[in-house]
Amino acid sequence: MRETIETLSNNKELISPGISACVGCNVELTLRTVMRVLGPNTIIAIPPGCMGGVGVVGWNKKSGANVPVFFPLLDNTASMLAGIKAYYKKIGRDINVVAFAGDGASVDCGFQSLSGAAERNDNIIYICYDNEGYMNTGYQRSASTTRGAWTSTTPVSKEKVGGKKQHKKDFPMIMAMHDIPYMATASPAYIPDLVNKVKKAMEVKEGLAYIHVLNPCLTGWGIKPNESIEVSRLSVQTRFFPLYEVVNGDFKLTVDIKKPKPVEQYINKIKKFSHLSKDDIEEIQNYVDKKWNKLKMSCVEGGRNDEQ
C-alpha cells in the first residue's frame, strides 16, 4: 500500500480537477487513479458514456484532460486505437494507447471491434468501467446488468414483478478466452491491486491488455454516496466479482476470499435489487458460487487473503 501511495502522490493529475461525475462516483476515482499510473505518455479514447458526458473529453475548444483524448463512436473504440497505435509504432514511438470505456461500449456495442483488436494482437490497453448499464442516458439495461436488477428498460411493477431476466455476461472470461497476453478484473475498493494491474498492462508490448473494473453506480443503482467504496468492496468480499488476472493464459486470484460474505449483504445495499425475493437472491447466490468454483479450478495459485 505504501508503494501505491508513493506512485499516486508523486505522479501528476492528468484529468481536469472539476468534472461533473456524480458526488462520490467511483468511476471518477478509477479514471483518476488509472491516469496517474499511466502518466503523460498516453493517448486515451473515451467513447460515449458517463466519463464522456462528465467533461473528460472536453467541451467546445477546451479539453478535460492533459493528454490527447479522443471521443470515438460507441462501437469503434478499439479499432480506432489500433490504428493510432500502428502509426506510432511506424514512427518508432512507444506510447500507451488506452481505452476507458463503459460496459455498453465494450460488452454490447463495441464488442466486435474489441474482439477483433484482441484477436489481431493489437497492442492497446482497454479498460472497461462496468456500471452495469447505460447509466448516463437513463439507466437502460446492458448485457452486463445483473439478473433481477431494476433498470428503466426492465421495470418492476408494484407487485414487485420484473427486473432483468438474464444473468450478467461474464465478460472478463470472454476476454480471457481470446488468449490475450493480459486480462484482469479490478475494483475501486482495492486500489493497490488496481494500480498493480495497470502497471502490468503497461508492460505488455505485444497484444492487447484488458482490465474489467466493476463500478457500482450510485445514482443508477441507488447507493448512498459515502457507501460508494463499501459497496464496491462487498462485491468482492461476497465473491460476486472475483479479483483475478490471467497472464499469458495462467489464471491467478489476486485477492482470495476465503470466507465469503453472503451475496445478500451486497444486494441489500442496492436499491435496484430492493424488490428481490428470497428465491431471487438465492438464484444469484447459486450463480455466484458456481462461477467462483469454476474460476477457482482454473487458477494456478491462490492470491493473498483479503486484508481489507
Partner 1 sequence: MMESKEKEYITSVGEGIYSINTGDWRINEPVLDQEKCKKCGLCFLYCPVFCIEKKDDYYEINYDYCKGCGICARECKSGAIKMVEKGSSSYAKN
Interface residues toward partner 1, by CB under 8 A = 1-2, 4-5, 8-9, 12-21, 23-26, 28-29, 32, 36, 55, 58-68, 188, 191, 225-230
- Residue among 37 and 204 whose Cβ is closer to partner 1: 37
- Determine the Cα–Cα distance for residues 269 and 227; give it in Å rounded to an integer: 9
CB of 223 to partner 1, least distance (A): 11
- Residue among 153 and 219 whose Cβ is closer to partner 1: 219
CB of 68 to partner 1, least distance (A): 7
- Residue among 18 and 92 whose Cβ is closer to partner 1: 18
CB of 241 to partner 1, least distance (A): 18
Q: Which residue has the cell 482497454?
A: 126
- Residue among 54 and 180 whose Cβ is closer to partner 1: 54
3-state secondary structure of 106: helix
Distance of alpha carbon 61 from the chain centroid: 29
- Residue among 24 and 303 whose Cβ is closer to partner 1: 24
Q: DSSP for 156-173?
A: B-TTS-BS--SPPP-HHH
CB of 271 to partner 1, least distance (A): 17
CB of 226 to partner 1, least distance (A): 3
Written as nine digits, the cell of 84 is 493510432
Q: Kind of pairing, strands 42-45 and 209-214? A: unpaired
CB of 25 to partner 1, least distance (A): 6
Distances (CA, A) of 174 to 118, 210, 246, 287: 11, 11, 12, 17
- Least Cα distance to 67 among 105, 2, 11 occurs for 11
Which helix (DSSP H) or strand (DSSP E) does residue 252 occupy?
strand 250-256
What are the b/e assignments for 10-24, b being 16+ CB within 10 Å?
A: eeeebbbeebebbeb
Residue pair 231/270 in contact by the 8 Å Cβ criterion: yes
- Determine the Cα–Cα distance for residues 131 and 23; give it in Å rounded to an integer: 15
Start-to-end C-alpha separation, the chain:
11
CB of 72 to partner 1, least distance (A): 18
Which helix (DSSP H) or strand (DSSP E) does residue 86 occupy?
helix 77-90
- Residue among 25 and 257 whose Cβ is closer to partner 1: 25
- Residue among 166 and 308 whose Cβ is closer to partner 1: 308
CB of 136 to partner 1, least distance (A): 16
- Residue among 32 and 164 whose Cβ is closer to partner 1: 32
Written as nine digits, the cell of 19 is 468534472
Q: Which residue has the cell 443508477?
A: 220
